[in-house]
A and B are shown apart, each in its own frame.
Chain A
Amino acid sequence: QQQVKQSPQSLIVQKGGISIINCAYENTAFDYFPWYQQFPGKGPALLIAIRPDVSEKKEGRFTISFNKSAKQFSLHIMDSQPGDSATYFCAASIKDKIIFGKGTRLHILP
C-alpha cells in the first residue's frame, strides 16, 4: 500500500525526443506527487510536483500527467537534451512521509 511502482528501470532516448516515465500507486491517501532528479554523486533534487486535484502540470519542457482514477502519473520530458541524462524518481507523500519509486536511469543520446 505504501509502494510506488516506477517503470522503466532504464531508458535511452535520442536528443530531441520525448522521454516518458510512468508511476503507479495504491494508497489513495497520498496527496502530493513530486518528481526528483538525481545526477551522479549528488542527492536527489525536486524537479516538479503535482497535487491530485490537478490532471496536468507543465514547467518548461517537463510535464506531469496525473490520472487519479487509475492511480497513475507520468513524467514527460519534451525535446530531451543530453543534460537531462540522470536518474529520475517519482514519489508520493502523505504529510511529511515521502515514498520514492525505484528510479529510472535516463540516457539521452547526443
Chain B
Amino acid sequence: DAGVIQSPRHEVTEMGQEVTLRCKPISGHNSLFWYRQTMMRGLELLIYFNNNVPIDDSGMPEDRFSAKMPNASFSTLKIQPSEPRDSAVYFCASSYRPRANTEAFFGQGTRLTVV
C-alpha cells in the first residue's frame, strides 16, 4: 500500500482565497483524522471521521474550516476564506477500527502558506 496520500504537498495562496486540501486514506482503514501542526501549538486534532461520518469536530478553529468525507477513500479539508494565521502543516492520518487504540498512519502533510 502507498500509505496515506495527501495533496498538494505545498500550497501558497493569497489571503481571502479558498484552499482545499485532499487526503486518500489507506485502503481498508475506516477512521480518518485531520491535524494541524505549528511550532506554537504542536499537533492539533481538527476533526475525525469514522466510517465516513464526522465524530468529533470540536477542534475545527472556526466556521471558515470545513471537512468532508464523501466516501471511504477520499476526504477534503477546506478553508474559506484563508487567513495568514492558517499557515501551518496540515496532516491527514488514518487507522483501522474495530481494533481500538491502533496505530494512526500519517501522510506527508500539506504545507500551507497564506500570504
Contacts and interface: CB of A to CB of B under 8 A. Distances in A.
A73 interface: no
Interface of B: 4, 31, 33, 35, 41-45, 48, 50, 55-56, 91, 93, 95, 97, 100-101, 103-109
Contacts, number: 57
Contacts of B35: 100
A91 to B, nearest CB: 8
Contacts of A89: 42-43
Interface in A44-77: 44-46, 49, 51
What are the nearest 6 A-B pairs in CB distance? A43-B106, A102-B42, A32-B101, A100-B43, A46-B103, A96-B31
Interface residues of A, number: 23
Contact of A43 (B97, B100, B109): B109
Contacts of B48: 96-97
A18 B89 CA distance: 30
> Interface SS of chain B: helix, strand, loop or mixed?
strand
Contact of A99 (B45, B100, B107): B45
7 contacts: A31-B101, A44-B43, A89-B43, A96-B55, A97-B56, A100-B42, A101-B42
